[in-house]
Structure 1
Amino acid sequence: MEGSGGLQSSEEKGAEKCMDDYLKSIGLQRKKIAKDGSCLFRAVAEQVLHSQSLHTKVRAKCVEFLKHNRESYEAFVEGNFEEYLCKLQDPQHWVGEVEINALAVQLCFLNGNHYDSVYPISHVRSAAICQSILYELLYDRVFKVERSALSVCQRVPRSSDVPTDDTLPPCASSDESDGRGRGRHLPERVKRSLNPALYRNVEYDVWTKSKRAQQKMDFCIAAGMQYTVGDRCQVRLDNSGRSYSATIKEVSPSNGPVMVYIEELGRKWHKPLLSLSLSLSEWDERGRGRGRGKPPPASAPPSSVSQATAPGSAGRVQKQHSWPQQAAADEQGGARGSRCL
């Protein structure tokens, strides 16, 4: 199943809504789990060992149990049973009904390939209150945040409240917000954690953040082109979303910041590659083979993706395209700062 960076189809969203409505009707609440090959073991680790981080130990125990009870499960496995157990040890290997029968916990199966945890709604509401108390102590006693800023986030829970933030939009990247906060300017994820009426799914939030960072890194590597002095580009100076037309004046080694001249402002800036993207005219020139950059070597296939390399004598650095629309939207809003809990 696609990570948070990908878009869900209307069919997948509909399936999740139907499942949530059904669970609510019987007093249960679905808790989202990281969407990778270990989702089943993460859910079991949380329910049995109270920590998703122990999912590798649960997987190892599952493999051991299946190995010792081969006669009960071999008939349900396609192919060689020993090879199956060997593949099962891979943290990214997907699992199914055989492993569920071996583990036997309360789970929710969605869209044919993903498992989420299921808890009584009363359990989720109690966890929200405990989480709120913990974060209040942390931000009051340790981070010394003003009490007035904390009290704004706290109120008496109501029966109509949504018990978890799984149904809310993801929090903005914590790289853009100060985890401790200044006055009343607390990051959204901290406000959710301080709210006794809302349980913040910390594990899923952390996984979403790391997934987004990995996607950005992959996108940077996949750009596969190089900026050179004289290239025309678009530059973002802040999180407002506005871009300025500019010309590259200097490049730095190891994909470091580049110097650009912005005509509209009449000055030079040193900006990281993440802030740059090719202008439409430059894309057109590159596509026709008339850009300033050198064409790829003849031995390289047209569709291959080149890896980031150290700059040569021409002082070239890897080119960074503009981010996809959703990733760019996720990075807007919030003050700059350090990590947030």
Structure 2
Amino acid sequence: MRSRRQSVGECSTSSSLNSQQSVEDDRMIAVILSEEYAKLDGAVARRLSSLAPLPHIPQVNTYIPTFSVANLDHQRLLQRLNIYGLCEVKVSGDGNCQFRALSDQIYRSPEHHKHVRKEIVKQVVDLNMFIVLKDHCSLYEGYVPMKFKHYYKKMAKCGEWGDHVTLQAAADKFVAKICLLTSFRDNCFIEILPQYQEPQQELWLSFWSEVHYNSLYEIQDAAVRQKARKKHWLF
């Protein structure tokens, strides 16, 4: 019989090889695009403009990765940020991170996350009448594997994790193209478009898959953002 130690060792070696291959894949993409990027002005969108985005499928959170998987995913995301010269403005991991990151992109501050959540939930339900709007319901209900009334009541609570349904609702509400640089092994870039309007703005987030969202900037812009936030805290 194979010992548990042998099995664990093989799994560890396999994970290490997969992680190494992922790094090499990303570096190859970066090398191929490096000449083109050298002439760009450094905007986040232009840095990733040649990557083919993964089509977005709205879905609720159904999977929480193990610690080892989450750790590998995080390392992969950090490597991608480094490769593409991007930086995260980190937001609190208090269950509101998706809404905080969206708030930082829209209002240049994560502190408006409650307003952002309220607007997103309003996109799928009329809170004043507390009746699901039929036209909006048809846009989102099919992606929710539970009673829709239960879903939007739960999502209205502060601290409830946002999901890919709320991202689609955010894109629709704020008429924005939401771009995610992700930790997924096979697809590092997801693009979420408004369903019935041309986007009027772009919102850039990093996504440590099923764990955390942060606001995403080009490195020098992130430094300016962080400096401005520290200055604000002094008053």
> Could you say which structure has the greater relative contact order, defined with CA pairs below 8 angstroms and 6 or more residues apart?
2
More helix as a share of residues? 2
The structure having more radius of gyration, on CA atoms, is 1
TM-score normalised to the size of structure 2? 0.49
